[in-house]
Structure 1
Amino acid sequence: MQNIDTDQIIPAEYLTLVPSKPDEYEKLGSYALIGLPDDQYHTKFVKEGALKTEYPIIIGGENFGCGSSREHAPVALGAAGSQVVVSQSYARIFFRNCISTGELYPVETDVRLCDELTTGQEVTVDMEKDVLVNHATGKEYSLKPIGEAGPVIDAGGIFEFARRQGMIKTVAA
């Protein structure tokens, strides 16, 4: 699917949840991608009654994360247990929010993987080799390197990265 917008990722009615509160962070994750239309092509991302998804890797088409600038979108996906989104392209603000929050790795590919893979197929994303492997077929797909954004996401976001680099002083509580 293309043009998955932030309201489909986390509808506005759930933006009252505060991600810095652990119980609300988990609850936010349980609503991730709840705004997608119900049809025969859509599998519930987080099953009813669950807080986490079975899908640590999300495959999108073009313009993933378009719409508003809400940081809750990548936070909800991360809170649900996803680690990587692989898409042809991203809305710039969503891409930036993934990096600044440290919740998800937004990885790009030139291939429209949402037309080649189906929900539930076992795949692996190798961030060092920049490939996605479909275990059902053995086929490998090239991914674009995430570059300097990788260490920021690895650190848990821009503020934690800055602390670790000595750019921000850590104040003892």
Structure 2
Amino acid sequence: MEKFEKLSGIAAPMPLVNIDTDMIIPKQFLKTIKRTGLGVHAFDEMRYLDDGSENPDFVLNKPAYREAQVIVAGDNFGCGSSREHAPWALADFGVKVIVSTSFADIFFNNCFKNGMLPIVLPQEQVDLLMKDAEKGSNARMDVDLEKQEITTSDGEVIKFDIDPFRKRCLLEGLDDIGLTLEKAPAIESFESQAAQSRPWV
């Protein structure tokens, strides 16, 4: 997993509430077990028209937001079924940070396991960031995980909270496999001792 330390990127405003995992990645794209290649299908039903062409009204199809790395969203982002393909699709699209007043628990946890930073803020601060995002590609947001700060295009700084363990995992690029590999010497030592004490196993 890639480390997450700082990000300076375009933020896309997505004020819809209850954006669920089926909206993020519809069920017909859940056949793969690869984490790559799903970005083209992120928000598929909102992003494309019935004839397969792009919906010009969808925010991520607008020229200013095609390279968005931050989504400022409405309440209860990532609700619905517990598909890990949802953060896979967002990450493959290029999204690194999602800001909302609340997230569904499973989606929230899956974000951290896939190198993404979900940030929970009070409504008034989300509203402020939403207005900043509406300025388009000229308004870049800075996210500093070490300092736990978001800086708007106007220079306003917003602090955010994050669990210390999850913060460490993102800063060091540690997913579940990485955390296990940190214990490799202890695991190897245990296995060696077990082989000597119980050679018949």
- TM-score band w.r.t. shorter chain: 0.7 to 0.9
Q: Distance in 2 between matches of 1:45 and 1:163?
A: 40
Aligned amino acid, residue 108 of structure 2: F
Change (3 A) 1:54 1:19: same
Q: Which residue of 2 aligns with 1:75?
A: 88
Which of residues 22, 36, 46 is equivalent to 1:36? 46
Greater RCO, 1 or 2 (C-alpha within 8 Å, sep 6+):
2
Q: CA deviation at 1:92?
A: 0.4
TM-score, normalised relative to structure 1: 0.76
Q: CA deviation at 1:93?
A: 0.7
Q: Distance in 1 between matches of 2:180 and 2:62?
A: 33
Change (3 A) 1:167 1:3: farther
Residues 11, 34 of structure 1: 8 Å contact kept = yes
* Larger relative helix fraction: 2
- Give the alignment's Cα RMSD to 1 decimal: 2.8
Q: Which residue of 1 aligns with 2:19?
A: 4
Q: CA deviation at 1:66?
A: 0.5
Q: Which residue of 2 aligns with 1:50?
A: none
Aligned amino acid, residue 105 of structure 2: R
The sequence identity of aligned pairs, in percent, is: 29
Aligned amino acid, residue 115 of structure 2: E
Q: Distance in 1 between matches of 2:186 and 2:98?
A: 29
Q: CA deviation at 1:45?
A: 5.4
Q: CA deviation at 1:164?
A: 2.4
Q: Distance in 2 between matches of 1:7 and 1:149?
A: 26
Q: CA deviation at 1:169?
A: 5.6
Which of residues 178, 182, 189 is equivalent to 1:164? 182
Q: Residue 60 of structure 2 aligns to a residue in which SS? A: coil
Change (3 A) 1:163 1:35: farther
Matched, 1:128 2:128: no
Q: Which residue of 2 aligns with 1:147?
A: 164
Q: How many residues align?
A: 158
- Greater Cα radius of gyration, structure 1 or 2: 2
Residues 32, 77 of structure 1: 8 Å contact kept = yes
TM-score, normalised relative to structure 2: 0.67
Aligned amino acid, residue 105 of structure 1: L
Change (3 A) 1:18 1:108: same
Which consecutive unaligned segments of at least 5 residues does structure 2 have?
1-14, 49-54, 189-201
Aligned amino acid, residue 125 of structure 1: V
Q: CA deviation at 1:71?
A: 0.4
Q: Residue 181 of structure 2 aligns to a residue in which SS? A: helix
Alignment of 1:42-61 (within 5 A): 42-44=58-60, 54-61=67-74
Alignment of 1:102-121 (within 5 A): 102-110=114-122, 111-113=125-127, 115-117=130-132, 118=134, 119-120=136-137, 121=139
Q: CA deviation at 1:79?
A: 1.3
